[in-house]
Amino acid sequence: MRNRRKNNHISKIDRMVVTMCEGSQDIGVPAIIYVKENAKAALAKKLSELNCQIKYELNLINAVCAVIDPKAVDTLAREEAVLYIAGDTDAKAYMDVAKKAVCGNNQTNRGENVTVAVIDTGVYPHRDLTYRRNRIVGFKDFVNNRQIPYDDSGHGSHCCGIIAGDGTSSRGKYIGIAPDANIIALKALDGSGMGSASDILAAMDWVYNNAEAKNISIVSLSFGAGINPYSRYDPLANAAEKLWDKGLVVVAAAGNEGPSLSTIGTPGASGRIITVGCSDDKRTVPLTDDTIADFSSRGPSAYAKLKPDVVAPGTEIVSLSNNGGYATLSGTSMSAPMVAGCCALLKARNPNMTNNEIKKTIMSSAVSLGRPYNEQGRGTISMRDMNIM
């Protein structure tokens, strides 16, 4: 019994961290350290004493992101204030007709006065977001710390256009779901669509701390990371659920690892938030020929028996590029902002709707494609028969 107590600190170290320390004796190991309430200041002092570099302090999940000296991990785990040391995982972006399939032809509700935070690769100040009125109402760069909106990938701009592009440059042909909605772009992924969990968590923390001041009601997440089955904590899922607890609508892509079962990544694996798989609309407006895209990740997820919640068009979607034109992309990355845009329409029509009510409405409006739940959720998103347009 004495030895078990003595070595209890070992259970506080994620296996990923242990592996990284074994292979990086002379290189700092990025980690996310969960701490007890009101203990971040004490931990910061200890990290400084151990020559570990703090990257972010996160109110959202009461944690500190830091680069740890491999020789200091064991000492840190023995600190009473430390609850768990998780790995700072890599995350990646999940790479006309669809608009009509989702919303129909007659739309008077355009998502006005609703702000959507998009955590991705940034946003290009495209005419479809800025010409009539600059609806990029905020930008924060966690990768290069630049001040002016940009997108060195194009992925984030594409997602923003699906949500809120107004079709200015295409004379209304390529128009987003909620073309009067506002966008706050948080750049946490680099030009290749890759990013660290710590940068993403810092962006989510920023949303948590600024939601009221910036009037944010919806968060769109078109990225994901693999789930560590040995970890007691999942920082990305934890953070998404904290945003949900704050009252925000959080929409996440299921991932592009299908057609195998149990391939949904984090944070989409969370049972609380809205997780979106990809349907193929065959470039036709009727839903009768829609299928589930082969690449769309399937449930069940690690944290919920049934996932995704719904699917939405995500194959060959034309939206904004980062050079002022348009681009065609496919993936659950495109499906998630489709649903985020629909959530913006619901919020615009009824600002008092809670996130749980919006999720229930989104799911109850879906049209079944006759596939198992862990492929299609409730079915493909459809707002055409709802009294919100």
Active-site residue, from 14, 69, 88, 120: 120
Residue 219 backbone phi and psi in degrees, to 5: -125, 125
User: Distance of CA 166 to CAs 182, 355, 381, Å?
Assistant: 11, 25, 21
The residues that bridge with 265 in the sheet, in sequence order, are none
| Integer angstrom CA distances of residue 2 from 9, 92, 156 | 13, 44, 53
Q: Tokens 């990025």: give the residue.
A: 30
Cross-strand pairs, 184: 117, 138
Residue with tokens 């299921």: 254
Q: Do residues 115 and 181 touch, judged by C-beta distance below 8 A?
A: yes
Query: Which is the catalytic residue, given 9, 126, 155, 158?
Result: 155
Give CA separation, 317 vs 2, 6, 34, 329, 341, in Å.
Answer: 61, 56, 39, 5, 14
Residue from 222, 301, 333, 335 carrying the catalytic annotation? 333
- Does residue 170 carry a catalytic annotation? no
How many degrees, rounded to 5, is the angle at CA 222 between CA 293 and CA 356?
A: 95
Is 190 in the active site?
Answer: no
Write the single-letter amino acid at 222: S
Whether 128 is catalytic is: no
Residue indicated by tokens 């500190």: 64
Which residues are part of the catalytic machinery? 120, 155, 333
